[in-house]
Amino acid sequence: MELCRNGMCVINLRTLSSSLLFLYAGLQSPSKGLDKFKSVFKISRKTFNYICSLVKEDMMAKQANFTFSNGKPVPFEDQVAVALRRLSSGQSLVMVGDSFGLHHSTVSQLTWRFVEAMEERGLHHLQWPTTEAEMTGIKSKFERILGLPNCCGVIDTTHVMMCLPSSDPASKVWLDHEKNHSMVLQAIVDPEMRFRDIVTGWPGKIEDWLVFQSSNFYKLCDKGDRLNGEKLELPEGSEIREYIIGDLGYPLLPYLVIPYEGKELPELRVEFNKRHSATRLVAHRALSRLKEMWKIIQGVMWRPDKHKLPRIILVCCLLHNIVIDLEDDMQDELPLSHDHDSGYHQQTCGSVDINGVHLRDKLSLYLSGKLPP
C-alpha cells in the first residue's frame, strides 16, 4: 500500500511486518513482490529474517516509542527494514524518512540502534578461520584460481568519502592525497569475497603499509601467532609457509607477498605477477560489491560522525558477509565490478624483508615448474 502526497509516494510501513514482501511494493503478486523486496532491501526475505533474529533481543531490550508520522507504532520488523534501507540506499535521513512516513530523527535512531545490535550480535560473521579444516578449504579455493599454493587471503584498501566543511577544525586531518576527505577501510578477503579481517577509522591520507602495521593482524603475524599453520612441503625438501598477498602499497614480508616491481622482468616473474594480479581481483570485487550493496559507504557521506562512521563500516562488512554465509542468491544478481577506489593511484611502499624475497622467489619457481628435484 502506498500513500502519495505532494507528488511523493510514501510507503505505509504499518502493514509491512505482516506482509513485508508484497505490501511494500503495493503489489498482490508474490513473485513481483519478492522482486520488489530484493530491489529495495538488497537481500532475500530469508536473509532479512535471519538478520531480524540476530538483532531482535538487543533492539527490543531498550524501551522506545518509535512512531510513524500518523502516530502509529513502528513494529520491530519495520524498524529493521528502515535501518537496512538507510544503509543500502545511502539516501539521506530526510529522504528515507519521507519515503516511509517517518521523521528523520526516527530514521537516525532506528539506524543507530540496529548498528549497535549488529556490533553486539553479528561479529561471529567476520573472523579469521578458527579450524585447520576451514583454512585448508580457503587455501584450496585460492589455489584453484590461478595456482598460488598455501595462500590464506588477499589484502587491499579502499576509501570511504566524507564531506567536511572547511571550517571544521579536523578538515585537514581527513584530507587525503587525492584532495578528498576520506576514511580508510583495509580488508583481508577470502576466495569467496568474505571479509576475514578489517581495519578502519584511519584518515584516508595514511599510507596502506602504515595502516597494516598498526593492525592487530600485523602484530599477531610478527609474533608468530597468525599465518603459522600447516606448511606446504616441496619435493626438494623446502617448504612454503602460509601467507597473504597484496599490491605494491604493502611491504614484502615473510608472510605478505607482493608483485615483482619493474618493467623489464624475466618471463618467470612476469608470469608470477599475472597469477598474483588475477588472484588479487577477489579483494577488488569484494570491496566493490560492499560499496554497491551498502551505498551508505559508496560515495560522499554528508558530514558523518567520525566516531560513528567506523562502526557503520563494520556493520556493512558484517552484512556483506551474512549475504555470503547464507548463500543469498541476491549476490548473483549484482555485477562483478572491481573498481572500488576510482581516482586513487597505486601506492608504493618499497620495504623488503629478505625472507619475503625468498618466499616470493620460491613461489615463482614452484608455479613455473622449475624447482630443483
Can you read off the three cell numbers belonging to residue 348? Answer: 608504493
Cα distance between residue 211 and residue 186, in whole Å: 8
Cα distance between residue 164 and residue 312, in whole Å: 18
pLDDT recorded at residue 235: 80
- What residues does 352 pair with on adjacent strands? 252
Spatial contact of 140 and 152, defined as CB atoms under 8 Å apart: no
By residue count, the chain amounts to 373
The tens place of each residue's pLDDT in the chain, 373 residues long, gives 233 333 333 444 434 443 333 334 332 333 344 567 777 777 889 999 999 999 999 999 877 788 888 889 999 999 999 999 999 988 888 988 988 899 999 999 999 999 999 999 999 999 999 999 999 999 999 999 999 999 999 999 999 988 777 777 777 888 888 888 889 999 999 999 999 999 999 999 999 999 999 999 999 999 999 999 999 998 878 899 999 999 999 999 999 999 999 989 999 999 999 999 999 999 999 999 999 999 998 766 656 677 888 999 999 999 999 999 999 887 776 666 767 777 788 889 999 999 999 999 999 999 998 766 4
181, 177, 179: which is closest to 162 by C-alpha?
A: 181
Question: What are the b/e assignments for 243-269, b being 16+ CB within 10 Å?
Answer: bbbbbbbbbbbbbbbbbbeeeeeeeeb
Q: Is 191 exposed, middle or buried (0-12, 13-18, 19+ CB in 10 A)?
A: buried
Q: Read out DSSP for 17-62?
A: TTSHHHHTTT---HHHHHHHHHHHHSS-HHHHHHHHHHHHHHHHHS
Cα distance between residue 101 and residue 129, in whole Å: 43
| Residue 73 Cα to chain centre, angstroms | 33
